[in-house]
A and B are shown apart, each in its own frame.
Chain A
Amino acid sequence: MSVRKKSAADRFVTGFAYVFIGLFGLMCLYPLALTLSVSLSSEREVVLNGYSVLPQKFTVDTYRYIFLNSGSQIGRSYLVTILITVAGTLGAMLITSMIAFAISVRTLRYRNVIAFICNFTIVFSAGLIPWYVVCVNYYGLKNNILALILPSIFSVWNMFLMRTYFSTISPSLYEAAKIDGAGYFRIYWKIAVPLSKTAMLTVGMMYALQYWNDWWNALIFINDKKLFPLQYYLYTILSNVNAISSGRIPAGASAGLTLPAETVKMAVTIITIGPILFLYPLVQKYFVQGIMTGAVKE
């Protein structure tokens, strides 16, 4: 009797688990499906019936329209985004892995000093304005493509994540290489990096995602439309729509702005996340691994 009662309670917990997780999963998927569906719908149907999760009168006209009309701006923004993602990620990985390797070597006397210099920047910062003034007045980053790369090229978090991986490598490997006459840079390049392929991939993807999704640096530094990354281009479109829907922008101010059609907004959104959508199944596990490693450290 008690056994059956218990198993009923257990079954309830299991059932609830399926429902809860299932619903939460759908809640995360639904908005995406909605966006995709609207971008593939005909504009007239969407205005008539509102957004829906199944395409209404399936058509790829919106995408065709975008590439024919604002194709040049989107194409340009795409190129900017790809450029900063590739250049930024490669640079960031080199810079991050070198310092992470250096302070993972236990015989390095001042490694704690260096770690402290890094850590301190997480705990205390000068704030936006001094940073902005220095970047614009002294480094000349206004309307400079380097403004989209340099400020985020070194993440202390990612560095510590990498150091965790590097410190699992046995020091005796380094000693052996040193006896064979290899310098530390050679050891880093020929031993540490190849042994930490997963770590390199994980951190590299985190950087790549950060660069791909960045629009903050563009908001701060870039006025020149030619240098707009994709995310920022989407932001400018949506921000105008948003301001106009508040209903309090004076008619004169909004007269010059034409609202893009609903399907266009969603199609631009899909174009923006396109590569993430395609790569997601492949890269997901690396991110999970990265998060788990970071968590273990804590």
Chain B
Amino acid sequence: MNVRQGKSAEAKRSLKKRGVFVREMRENRELYLMCVPALIILVMFCYIPFAGTWMAFTDFNVVDGIFGSKFVGLDNFKFFFSRHSMGWKVIYNTLFINFFGIILGLIVPVSIAIFFNEIRSRLFKKLTQSFMFFPYFLSWVVVGAIIYGFFSSDVGVVNRILTELHMEPVKWYAEPKYWKGIIIFADMWKWSGYSSIIYMAAMAGFDGSLFEAAEVDGANKLQRILRLTIPMLKPAAVVLTLMSIGRIFYGDFGMIYGIVGNNPVLMDTVTVIDTYVYQTMRTMGFSYSTAIGLFQSLMGLILVTLANKAAKKVNEGEGLF
């Protein structure tokens, strides 16, 4: 008796649950239909490809297909970390470029926002902000063209200056050692104007009376910047930096290829995980490059989760997304 009662209660509950679902679908059908196109795109380009990650554990060949090819376990991953592949070097390049990118991407935009705030002339503000924001609108290919204008051996600006100063011109495009620096600088150049706007938005929300009070108390501008502005910018800076740290295993494919192109001499020093995946796809087959991509995604997932936790701690429960 009791058992039967329990069963029917359960059935009722599940029926009720289904009822809720059906009723919700009927009631808000139009809203759900409006989500369908976007969800189809996500399924097509983000979710279905997950099935393909199986290739990472096989020795893929076209004839046997994704699920018919020979299973090899973790061999592809092992090879990536072995001495025979560029694995560690590529990871090092990625982390190196991103690490300095993050540091410059913190200091420069914050400085811009702070000093921009000290400027009174409206025309000056308008002009300089237009200039600083402009690089964001350029593709990496265009930035690559600009960099060529600076570093080309014969006509480039830098070598002409070196000659003026009676120094030896450098064959930049044949010298790998400079390019990590050039790329880090280019990244800073392209994004600083953009990121500084985020900090300016944060500053626009500051309580002005605090600054007035500090001024009345005799604090000069530098003290106000150091004691008020910077501490108040900290939450925004921490969140943005955590976001970049969460993506530290992702290189910017467009940046590397746009600037260095397929220059065989420079490729080694600036190959990041993303460009390596693309190169190995063409030279070493799908399985190996899938494995590297999967490794990258997993590292990304772990780091983003950690960064999100950290952000919640700093930001009173508000995560990154």
Residues of A within 8 A of B (CB): 2, 6, 9-10, 13-14, 16-18, 20-22, 24-29, 31-32, 34-35, 38, 46-47, 49-51, 94-96, 98-99, 101-103, 105, 107-110, 114, 117-119, 121-135, 138-139, 150-151, 153-154, 159-160, 183-185, 188, 209, 213-216, 219, 231-232, 234-235, 238-243, 245-249, 262, 265-266, 269, 272-273, 276, 280-281, 284, 287-288, 291-292, 294-296, 298
- Could you jot down 30 A-B contacts, CB within 8 Å? A6-B218, A17-B115, A20-B115, A24-B192, A28-B189, A28-B193, A34-B157, A50-B154, A98-B38, A102-B32, A102-B35, A103-B35, A108-B31, A123-B301, A123-B305, A123-B321, A125-B297, A125-B300, A127-B293, A128-B281, A150-B45, A154-B41, A159-B38, A234-B145, A238-B145, A242-B261, A265-B145, A280-B130, A288-B197, A291-B197
B45 touching A246, Cβ below 8 Å: no
A13 touching B118, Cβ below 8 Å: yes
Q: Restricting to B74-114, which residues have a CB under 8 Å from any CB of A? A: 111-112
What residues of chain A lie closer than 8 Å to B193, measured between beta carbons?
Answer: 28
Q: Answer whether A102 and B31 are a contact pair too, CB < 8 Å, given A24-B132, A29-B134, A134-B52.
A: yes
What residues of chain B lie closer than 8 Å to A123, measured between beta carbons?
Answer: 300-301, 304-305, 321
Q: Tally chain B residues at the interface, Cβ within 8 Å.
A: 115
Q: Answer whether A248 and B264 are a contact pair too, CB < 8 Å, given A127-B293, A151-B45, A272-B142.
A: yes
Q: Shortest distance in angstroms between B225's beta carbon and chain A's nearest beta carbon?
A: 7
Among residues of B, the one whose C-beta sits closest to the C-beta of A15 is B118
Provide the bound-state CA to CA distance between A138 and B204, in Å.
Answer: 49
Q: Is B14 an interface residue (CB 8 A)?
A: no
Q: Restricting to B21-43, which residues have a CB under 8 Å from any CB of A? A: 24, 28, 30-35, 37-39, 41-42
A129 touching B112, Cβ below 8 Å: no
Q: Shortest distance in angstroms between B43's beta carbon and chain A's nearest beta carbon?
A: 9
Interface of A is mostly: helix
What residues of chain A lie closer than 8 Å to B39, measured between beta carbons?
Answer: 99, 114, 117
Provide the bound-state CA to CA distance between A110 and B31, in Å.
Answer: 11
B42 touching A121, Cβ below 8 Å: yes
What residues of chain A lie closer than 8 Å to B159, measured between beta carbons?
Answer: 50
